Amino acid sequence: MSDGNAALSWLVIRQDDNGNRYRVGRYATEDEARKMVDELDAKGHRQLYSVERVEGSVL
């Protein structure tokens, strides 16, 4: 992940076969989050991973 002082505005979300969604991590840039999705996809997991931008100051 990124420097603790940076705004972590991008989420990686995992959705399982039942439609349940879980936050996997937070990242400072969209590119960083997408790289994580690519790494997770390369491992052959069956879940769907997506990137979402955090709106406002939500933790």
The pLDDT tens digits for 1-56 are 445 556 899 999 999 989 999 999 999 999 999 999 999 989 876 789 999 999 87
Residue 21 lies inside a defined structural domain of this protein: yes
Task: Name the strands in the sheet holding 21-27, side by side, starting at the edge strand that comes first in the sequence.
Answer: 21-27, 10-15, 48-53
pLDDT reading at 57 higher than 80: no
- For residue 59, tell me if it sits in a domain: no
Domain count, the chain: 1
- Asked if residue 20 belongs to a domain, the reply is yes
Query: Which structural domain range is residue 42 located in?
Result: 10-53
- Answer whether residue 3 is part of any domain: no
Can you give 2-25 as a three-state secondary structure string? CCCCCCCCEEEEEECCCCCEEEEE
Is 23 among the domain residues? yes
pTM equals: 0.77
